[in-house]
Amino acid sequence: MHRHDGHDACRTDAHDMLARAEAVCRARGLQFTPLRREVLGAVADSGKAQGAYDIAERLSAPGRRVAPVSVYRALDFLMEQGLVHRIASRNAFIPCAYDHAPGEGVIFLICRTCGAVDEASTQEVEDGLERTLERAGFTPTHSILEVEGDCGLCREQKRTP
């Protein structure tokens, strides 16, 4: 389930992601435009969650300015297609490396040290969550589960510095 270690670039992942994104868009009859490709590439390239303004800055160059609003639009598209997730507690975005089943929940594991964000399945918490909501008489439409802490690699490094 681990995708980024945050200590080592993982361009293969980024490359695979772009290929998958292209396939997804083609299958759905949607445009995987250069801008969308670049934005997804920027998100996938760094091992950590990226803010929209960071992405805009990264894509800008002398002679070419990418405005944040353009990045937001691309991110909206990518999120709708399930290619990118938004991390509410960080106002930041990560690429999604998985094919989530529709309605499937996700837990985001956010490393406070290296900034990497991993995804885990909600499988083991779903029953308990459902019971809790049922008891409260609450009908859910959307859940956010974000856990901050130390990823395995950072924990190792702290133990032997």
53's contact among Zn ion, a second copy, DNA, none, with CB below 5 to 8 A by partner kind, is DNA
Name the token pair of 72: 């937001």
Shortest Å distance, C-beta 49 to DNA:
10
Name the token pair of 3: 């995708």
Give the Cα separation of 64 and 75 in Å (integer): 19
Range in contact with DNA (rule: CB under 7 A) among 85-93, 115-123, 125-133, 139-147: 85-93
Give the Cα separation of 112 and 160 in Å (integer): 18
Q: Which of residues 81-120 bind a second copy (CB under 8 A)?
A: 88-89, 107, 109, 111-112, 118, 120
Q: Is 17 in the site for Zn ion (CB under 5 A)?
A: no
Name the token pair of 128: 């308990």
Name the token pair of 42: 């920027």
Q: Is 84 in the site for DNA (CB under 7 A)?
A: no
Q: Is 98 in the site for Zn ion (CB under 5 A)?
A: yes
DSSP code per residue over 53-97 = HHHHHHH-BTTB---HHHHHHHHHHHHHTTSEEEETTTTEEEE--
Q: Summarize as ranges the residues that interact with a second copy (CB under 8 A).
A: 1-2, 88-89, 107, 109, 111-112, 118, 120-129, 131-133, 135-152, 155
Q: Summarize as ranges the residues that interact with DNA (CB under 7 A).
A: 30-31, 33-36, 51-54, 65-70, 72-74, 76-77, 86, 91-92
